[in-house]
Amino acid sequence: MVLSIERHPGRYFRRLVGSDFDEALAFFESDYDFRAPIVRRTRPQSHWDFADVGDGRLSLRSSRFMADLRTESRVDDEFVVAWLRSGAGRLTSGSDTHVFEPGVPVVVPFAEVYSLHHRDIGLNLVHLDRDFVRSVAGDDDFAFDTLQRPTAQGVATWQAVVRAHSSTWLDVDHRLDASGERTIAEAFVTAALQAFPQRSRWRSSVAGTGPEHGRLRRALEYVHAHAREPIGTPEIAVAAGLSPRGLQQSLRRHLDQTPGELLRSVRLDGARADLLDGDREETSVADIARSWGFGHLGRFSSTYRARFGELPSESLRAR
């Protein structure tokens, strides 16, 4: 293995090249917490290489691994965006699997064990420090909704920042002052916040990666997407792939709620968001209540006050 490490003001540069996969795994196990990796050669002269330019906030990386690799991994202190240059790869977290497509970026699972299978892969990666991202987002608990495909506009947003700043960042002979380095790091974070789906707080309420957890998340996704519509337990159960009784049992076991309580809670949250954003001159409590499926205004007001500690009209005036 050939290892090159250079340090420049604020940034470091690493380059590793080799054909010994035991050495490769020793390196990747430390950087990516590989767990019980299995490597199989795909050609007589397999090889690997890795390059990295980074500081404490941002790291731009490039990796080739010309072999078949299967392992589990976990990353807790960084958000990692990856996209394929060549080869084939897939990531699996719980019941969700992402198959890499050339040039399409994805956020790697965060703070949970995931499995990966790469074959003769060329991969670009951007590592963003967790705490730095959260400081820019203004949310101490922020996380991306990993393995969710970005929209076409999201891909374009991400590719634009990569084109605009990568060459400057990777040119370690071009000195950047502290302000310049921070500006580039913030540009990548801002693009990531715009490009990739963000984890809703309700998704993080379902801890676990088993099949039941996946079905329960599908139930929650359906409720949040269709809460304004006239849905109930049967529709939610079908969306989750559960029987109505199975849905009731799963919700009670993991969230201590019935389907009706879940739906009412999501609708109340939606109504509150609309009230807080509403214009008193153009918005009425009754219209918002009806739009969220509350047909009885008095009952809606009392339930709302019990949940949020104020009347709907007070929330509307608070804007």
Same domain, yes or no: 179 and 46: yes
Same domain, yes or no: 176 and 266: no
Q: What is the pLDDT of residue 317?
A: 76
Same domain, yes or no: 219 and 79: no
Same domain, yes or no: 43 and 190: yes
Range of the domain at 72: 2-195
**Last residue in a domain, options 195, 213, 239:** 195
Same domain, yes or no: 143 and 287: no
Q: What is the pLDDT of residue 131?
A: 95
CA atoms within 13 A on the CB side of 60: 18
Q: Are 231 and 190 in contact (CB under 8 A)?
A: no
- Burial class (CB within 10 angstroms; exposed 0-12, middle 13-18, buried 19+) of 184: buried
Same domain, yes or no: 38 and 130: yes
Q: What is the pLDDT of residue 6?
A: 57
CA atoms within 13 A on the CB side of 31: 17
Same domain, yes or no: 24 and 152: yes
CA 138 to chain CA centroid, nearest Å: 16
**Last residue in a domain, options 158, 175, 195:** 195
Question: Which CATH number covers residue 170?
Answer: 2.60.120.10
Q: What is the pLDDT of residue 61?
A: 97
Same domain, yes or no: 159 and 230: no
Q: What is the pLDDT of residue 142?
A: 86
Q: What is the pLDDT of residue 190?
A: 94
**Last residue in a domain, options 195, 222, 253:** 195
How do 114-129 and 58-73 pair as beta strands? antiparallel
Q: What is the pLDDT along the chain (319 residues), one digit of tens a residue?
A: 555 555 656 789 999 999 888 888 888 888 888 988 999 999 988 889 999 999 999 999 999 999 999 999 999 999 999 999 999 999 998 777 899 999 999 999 988 899 999 999 999 999 999 999 999 988 787 888 878 788 888 899 999 999 999 999 999 888 888 999 999 999 999 999 989 887 665 555 666 556 777 788 888 888 888 899 999 999 999 999 999 999 999 999 888 899 999 999 999 988 998 888 877 677 789 999 999 999 899 999 999 999 889 999 988 876 5
Number of domains in the chain: 2
Question: Which CATH number covers residue 251?
Answer: 1.10.10.60
- Burial class (CB within 10 angstroms; exposed 0-12, middle 13-18, buried 19+) of 102: exposed
Same domain, yes or no: 173 and 214: no
Same domain, yes or no: 181 and 280: no
Same domain, yes or no: 8 and 136: yes
Give the Cβ contact number of residue 308 at 10 Å.
16
Same domain, yes or no: 207 and 174: no
Which of 183, 202, 171 has the alpha carbon at shortest distance from 266?
202
Q: What is the pLDDT of residue 46?
A: 85
Q: What is the pLDDT of residue 9?
A: 61
Q: What is the pLDDT of residue 216?
A: 85
Phi, psi of 285 (to 5 degrees): -60, -40
Task: Read off the pTM.
Answer: 0.68
